[in-house]
Chains A and B, each alone.
Chain A
Amino acid sequence: MECTARNMEKPDPTALTDLVRQAQAGNMSAQNELIVAYQARLAGFVYAMLGRSAPVDDLCQDVLIKMLRGLPRLLEPSLFEPWFFRLARNACIDHTRRERWRRMFVFFDPATDDPPVFVDTEKRDRVEALLALLQRLSARDRTLLLMAQEGLSLAEMARATGTTTTTIKTRLHRARERLRELYEKRT
């Protein structure tokens, strides 16, 4: 799966709102376009949230299905992005919870090898080191850092997490501090 410029950048808000409205109306072509527009960003977000590549595809499918099913209930198409990343965040948290339960009951679970995703070993090492640090943060801190990387504004993050802009600002600052502390302890 290639990353293309089209699906890596944040879409134009007006065009996005139109696209979401068409998708809500049941236009399959618009729904397809919406999936293509967000699949790379979603995959990156899920990969960073979970720290592993193996569950990325299945979880992305789950999120996209929830998105398509939930679209008719989205009252404001302009708020699509925070709503979408909220779905993604919840799916990742649910997945982590299920994995924890599963590991409690499956004693002899052979380690699942993540498929290799990088050819460049230096890049792979740096990314894996960063992902390992992110995993040591709480899900809440990780979510905020990743949503900020995805270009969501403070207001959008507040909407996605059900809090206020002031709270998000404080939490985001603290999350960055914690990441920095973890990095310093590691080095």
Chain B
Amino acid sequence: MKNEPDLSELWPAIREGGTAALRPNLAARVFARMAAAREELTTQTTILVGLGTAMACLMLTLALNLWSERRARDEALDQWNVLATENATLEQESSL
């Protein structure tokens, strides 16, 4: 009795089993899938470009919003400083 499985002896049968699992016209199906995949790649690229553009617009909007808010805040702060200075001056003059 053999003390190890004979892979070499069974290898032709394994190949036969693998080949039997193949459907007909493998080469034709491979070429057909490659042709279909090229179209699929275009659709994928279109979707990616669209999503990328949408993300870029969103980021730009957020950046503009942030800049606008900061500008408004800085202007308000400047006005407050001016008023505070004027107020301090008036108080000094009235105390004199």
Residues of chain A at the chain B interface (Cβ within 8 Å): 1-3, 8, 28, 32, 35-36, 39-48, 53-54, 56-57, 60-61, 64-65, 68-69, 115, 117-118, 123, 126-127, 129-131, 133, 145, 149, 176, 179-180, 183-184
Contact = CB atoms under 8 A, between A and B. Distances in A.
Contacts of A3: 15-16, 19
Contacts of A2: 19
Interface string B1-40: 0011101101111111111111110110111011001000
Interface of B: 3-5, 7-8, 10-24, 26-27, 29-31, 33-34, 37
A131 B14 CA distance: 9
A183 B4 contact: yes
23 contacts: A1-B19, A1-B22, A1-B24, A28-B31, A35-B26, A41-B15, A43-B18, A47-B14, A47-B17, A47-B18, A65-B30, A117-B16, A117-B20, A118-B16, A118-B20, A127-B17, A133-B5, A145-B7, A149-B8, A179-B4, A179-B5, A179-B7, A180-B3
A1 B20 contact: yes
Nearest to A48: B14
A43 B10 contact: no
B15 A44 contact: yes
Given A41-B15, A46-B18, A130-B5, A35 B10 contact: no
A1 B19 CA distance: 6
Closest 4 CB pairs of A and B: A47-B18, A44-B15, A43-B18, A53-B21
A185 to B, nearest CB: 12
Contacts of B14: 44, 47-48, 127, 130-131
A60 B4 contact: no
Given A36-B27, A64-B26, A130-B10, A117 B21 contact: yes
A57 B23 contact: yes
A100 to B, nearest CB: 21
Given A47-B17, A118-B17, 6 more contacts: A42-B18, A44-B18, A56-B22, A118-B20, A130-B14, A179-B7
B85 to A, nearest CB: 67
A155 to B, nearest CB: 20
A43 B3 contact: no
B18 A32 contact: no
A47 B21 contact: yes
A48 B24 CA distance: 20
Contacts of B7: 130, 145, 149, 179
Contact of B18 (A45, A65, A145): A45
